[in-house]
Amino acid sequence: MRLRGRYITREHILAAVDTFEIIEDYPDDKYLPSCLVRAKSGDDIIHINVALDRKGTNVRIITAYRPTPDKWAEDFKRRRKR
């Protein structure tokens, strides 16, 4: 639902699948292992948080957003130190 408000469509995410790069891994996340993926959709860099189903091959999109330079390094792969 929030993706619509952020103007990131399912099509944006699927079109960027060839550029997916895991930048953070959360194997002990509360419900399912998850990770943060960096992707390039057109001229935009987006971050996608996905949960990975242990038993199957399902991937669930938790959220997606456009990272901001104040929180992320220039390449949007590393968080800035606070």
For 2-37, the pLDDT digits (tens) are 555 567 888 889 999 999 999 999 999 988 999 999
pLDDT at 39 over 80: yes
Q: 20-24, 57-61, 68-72: lowest mean pLDDT where?
A: 57-61
DSSP element (H, E) containing 18: none
Per-domain residue ranges for the chain? 2-65
Q: How far apart are CA 62 and CA 64, in angstroms?
A: 7
| Six-digit token string for 66 | 């456009």
